[in-house]
Structure 1
């Protein structure tokens, strides 16, 4: 794809946004005197700010680039996953939030230990760390590729190093408080960036919004199909099933979200923040899908101006670099960078919290809070450097195959995390013996699926079993692994006679409390 040089005004806007991120980190550094403030902001953040932070963390720069590209090439089927989030969580948030605020000190996976023992905690926390290292590297890599589209001759490795260093410095000094308030700013930037793009497309498209909607209707661009029951390719049903477990995974087991529950002032504020994060995310996902639809209409009318061979994910960056006026381009690129920072800083802080709580604190029980703070800050630096290294490996080895391989490894080593959560939440009879059998079954199944499929690496199939190969869409793998842990774990638990779990660690304690309140 052709590249162009940015105007100095656009460059100034981008630099200003990066300096602002560093400034926020240094400003809040004066408050970081304990692990409670460093990792949970002292539990004193307003609910609206916590909600904006959740929103900004979920809406990363991947959304900024991938959603318009997918909507341009196809339809809105990926949005189905997001639509499942409010449907699944409207009722569950009221229970999940107070449960975590009551049961854990800092780590999400402390709950897993209280239900199923230390191995469940270590397994799930390790899975989170593995997944989010891959995620951080992916975000940095994709951001660098996007920036290279705007400036000819730019070495994407320097983009990775510079943005990674900014995030490390901000997170190291400012802790969770700086992250949340920076996320608030970055959340607004993301929304403004999407709205500016739609506004410019409305203005530049001959016939305006009416023509865009006419073309979208004619080519079925605002659609969620195909609607058949086939699970071997991407369908509405696949995305519904995937979306249900995505919602449960994100809001029920993901440290980057659960840790934010702890930053709110009380249970009610934390629940309000969660609802705000959910209901901001869905319209924003739809907004960036609509950007892709508008791009399709614009380039359908102006079909001769797109470079030959351009990929769908490159169309939005190309439009920004060639059609956006000076200043607006800088704002949108600042929003793109903001999306990357808001996801990576949260992941770095959360992994640091896990290192301190799930590993260092476990093996050094006499450690003082000051010692934990020191370890936490070093964990921030090491995690950030690891994310940079991961992104640089993508550059060195070629992104797509590496991403697929890493996804496969993560899928095998972290099978069924949501299944663990649901088993602990809904069954007092479930025990650690049954759970470990369920996890083992899920790992075996996931390894089989990865080895007999071409979805998770390059086109080579590592193990060809003919008609026994795993042929379902890759999004179904997570669904199956969670269900296997849930079902096998429960059934296996019935063979081991153990006391019922504490009612307060399950949904039944919450329901009993509600019944008492209503009397």
Structure 2
């Protein structure tokens, strides 16, 4: 990496860390540390909620997801605005009225201590794992493409986050997330316009969309009832709504963001702002991935975007076969480039001719998929430990090989800023839940506010160290953005069901709820392990199952609870 990019990268990250540390280091109470003194305005809440969800995984994996599979992933977010409205009407007023620090405090007053503790533990397990992945995701990709040491990157990212999160708490997280989102928006918009400007002169943006559509990348909505299809309109509107309800309504990393608002109205406005900006933002990031696909119709690309794949076959008996496939890919790409140009420049009135070019383009795209699959088989023969799924490497490959000096540093800062913003929120929430729901609730002696402030900082540090350790031992999965959502889907439905029972099913008591929650979690984990259904539907399964079981147990149990 050029020294100019390194300067831009270090200057951007250093400014964010130093600004966050010096402006929020003087917390004097637990309320200041965990709720930011309840000073946040709606735009801060909205951007903070968005930054918490939009981790580095979003900006690494989502363009690669669209490059390979098209725009269909946007259906995952269709239910989000619906969930935001429900949360604003039901969840937020209750949290503000009770003046809670965490979402799980309410469950003790509604049920009992063991139900509150169980729900808090479920959150700590899934969010603790996710915190490690949000550090690991950018580290493993940057390590592969830049040659930096993976463990060192995990430690550096973790320490940067720990510095200002431990010192400033919720207010530091909120302040730095506004700056991080500014960097992210500037970087992604810049990358998008550069990609479109790199297309051939006679290919306009509308031509690029037409080429993408002919290649099957612009199929946004799928109304089929194919249960094996992971992303459909129905999985998004139903499973996605339940996932968003669980995440934004019961996950402390999100609840803490809007509990820091100055009023109920400011919290609600921030969530609505996030709900209706998030879908266009994800659409834009996916569209960026589609433009990358069009870009590589006219520019050569590696057989596998993960540099480790090519390194695995070098100086082995498989190198010749791999290079032959790479040459065939480039010849196929040259044919694709001609077919794409002919298709785009043929007027719609020449229907038969245009259809012929479209068919040719589709056949060449299919040929490319086959060549890449053969390349992956060769890599697996050379080294079975190498990850051949390269979705997480597509965007970073474009950044490092096509952007001008300076902008590479900016886009790397985008990725690391996103990692830092999500990880900071997670550490902040993990510490809050540990202190308020476990430590403070179960401590036998009366302690003053200064004691719990110190405990909050120590638990933030502890979770930060655990996240780094998990990141250093994690493995690369099929697609990192899916891993985070899978982890959430395993736990979120159950937790949401517990909250819905607490809000609406008043006759269900604590014992029935607790037993139902334990059984439900075991069933959901089993269903996921056996791969019985797409992971988005696990949210609905967990929610419906815990509610049905709890109601059944309550109705069939003795009257006294």
The verdict on a shared fold, with TM-score over 0.5 as the criterion, is yes
Give per-residue Cα distances to partners, 1:210-247, cap 9 Å, x unaligned: 22111122123122354321323314033333201111
Cα offset for 1:444? 3.5
Give per-residue Cα distances to partners, 1:378-413, cap 9 Å, x unaligned: 11111000000000011xxx3339999999898777
Q: Provide the C-alpha distance between the structure 1 equivalents of 2:459 and 2:247, rounded to a whole number of angstroms.
A: 23
Relative distance call for 1:130 and 1:244 in structure 2 (3 A) is: same
Match of residue 77, structure 1, among 60, 72, 76: 72
Bigger mean CA deviation after superposition, 262-271 or 474-483: 474-483
Q: Does 1:376 align with 2:456?
A: yes
Q: Provide the C-alpha distance between the structure 1 equivalents of 2:505 and 2:392, rounded to a whole number of angstroms.
A: 44
Bigger mean CA deviation after superposition, 91-100 or 373-382: 91-100
1:509 aligned residue: none
Relative distance call for 1:197 and 1:418 in structure 2 (3 A) is: same
Q: Provide the C-alpha distance between the structure 2 equivalents of 1:409 and 1:67, rounded to a whole number of angstroms.
A: 17
Relative distance call for 1:278 and 1:405 in structure 2 (3 A) is: closer
Q: Provide the C-alpha distance between the structure 1 equivalents of 2:533 and 2:257, rounded to a whole number of angstroms.
A: 35
2:182 aligned residue: 188
2:284 aligned residue: 287
Q: Does 1:277 align with 2:271?
A: no
Aligned length: 472
Q: Provide the C-alpha distance between the structure 2 equivalents of 1:123 and 1:410, rounded to a whole number of angstroms.
A: 16
Give per-residue Cα distances to partners, 1:238-296, cap 9 Å, x unaligned: 33332011111122101011112221111111111111222222221111101111011
2:539 aligned residue: 478
Q: Could you list the runs of 5+ residues in structure 2 that have no partner in the other structure? A: 306-389
Bigger mean CA deviation after superposition, 286-295 or 489-498: 489-498
2:114 aligned residue: 119
Q: Which runs of 4+ in 1 moved over 6 A?
A: 401-415, 497-500
**Secondary structure at 2:101's aligned position in 1?**
coil
Q: Give RMSD over aligned pairs.
A: 2.4
Cα offset for 1:208? 3.0
Relative distance call for 1:406 and 1:270 in structure 2 (3 A) is: closer
Give per-residue Cα distances to partners, 1:447-500, cap 9 Å, x unaligned: 43244x2x5xxxxxxxxxxxxxxx322332232112101222223223347699
Cα offset for 1:131? 0.9
1:64 aligned residue: 59
Cα offset for 1:434? 2.4
1:213 aligned residue: 209
Give per-residue Cα distances to partners, 1:183-216, cap 9 Å, x unaligned: 0011122222221111011101121312211112
1:513 aligned residue: none
2:437 aligned residue: 358
Cα offset for 1:431? 1.5
Give per-residue Cα distances to partners, 1:311-346, cap 9 Å, x unaligned: 232111111001111121111111111100000001
Given that 1:130 and 1:410 are in contact with CA atoms closer than 8 Å, whether structure 2 keeps it comes out as no
Given that 2:493 and 2:541 are in contact with CA atoms closer than 8 Å, whether structure 1 keeps it comes out as no
Match of residue 263, structure 1, among 255, 260, 263: 260
Q: Provide the C-alpha distance between the structure 1 equivalents of 2:391 and 2:423, rounded to a whole number of angstroms.
A: 25
**Secondary structure at 2:70's aligned position in 1?**
coil
**Secondary structure at 1:205's aligned position in 2?**
coil
1:25 aligned residue: 20
Match of residue 389, structure 1, among 469, 494, 517: 469
Relative distance call for 1:240 and 1:140 in structure 2 (3 A) is: same
Given that 1:83 and 1:243 are in contact with CA atoms closer than 8 Å, whether structure 2 keeps it comes out as yes
Given that 1:262 and 1:270 are in contact with CA atoms closer than 8 Å, whether structure 2 keeps it comes out as yes
Give per-residue Cα distances to partners, 1:86-132, cap 9 Å, x unaligned: 02332441332121111242011011222221112111111111111
Given that 2:42 and 2:269 are in contact with CA atoms closer than 8 Å, whether structure 1 keeps it comes out as yes
Match of residue 222, structure 1, among 200, 212, 218: 218
Relative distance call for 1:9 and 1:499 in structure 2 (3 A) is: farther
Relative distance call for 1:401 and 1:101 in structure 2 (3 A) is: same
Q: TM-score, normalised by structure 2?
A: 0.80
Given that 2:16 and 2:179 are in contact with CA atoms closer than 8 Å, whether structure 1 keeps it comes out as no
Relative distance call for 1:436 and 1:270 in structure 2 (3 A) is: same
Cα offset for 1:375? 0.9
Relative distance call for 1:361 and 1:162 in structure 2 (3 A) is: same
Q: Does 1:161 align with 2:239?
A: no
- 1:198-347 mapped onto 2 (5 Å cutoff): 198-206=192-200, 207-236=203-232, 237-302=234-299, 305-310=300-305, 311-347=390-426
Relative distance call for 1:347 and 1:473 in structure 2 (3 A) is: same
Match of residue 427, structure 1, among 505, 509, 512: 505
Given that 1:124 and 1:414 are in contact with CA atoms closer than 8 Å, whether structure 2 keeps it comes out as no
Given that 1:29 and 1:174 are in contact with CA atoms closer than 8 Å, whether structure 2 keeps it comes out as yes
Q: Provide the C-alpha distance between the structure 2 equivalents of 1:282 and 1:406, rounded to a whole number of angstroms.
A: 18
**Secondary structure at 2:227's aligned position in 1?**
coil
**Secondary structure at 1:494's aligned position in 2?**
helix
Q: Provide the C-alpha distance between the structure 1 equivalents of 2:450 and 2:479, rounded to a whole number of angstroms.
A: 39
1:515 aligned residue: none
Q: Does 1:367 align with 2:428?
A: no
Cα offset for 1:415? 6.2
Relative distance call for 1:200 and 1:281 in structure 2 (3 A) is: same
Q: Could you list the runs of 5+ residues in structure 1 that have no partner in the other structure? A: 1-5, 456-470, 501-519
2:166 aligned residue: 172
Q: TM-score, normalised by structure 1?
A: 0.86
Relative distance call for 1:376 and 1:186 in structure 2 (3 A) is: same
Q: Provide the C-alpha distance between the structure 1 equivalents of 2:145 and 2:488, rounded to a whole number of angstroms.
A: 33
Cα offset for 1:141? 1.2
Larger Rg: 2
**Secondary structure at 2:556's aligned position in 1?**
coil
**Secondary structure at 1:399's aligned position in 2?**
coil
Q: Provide the C-alpha distance between the structure 2 equivalents of 1:65 and 1:428, rounded to a whole number of angstroms.
A: 44
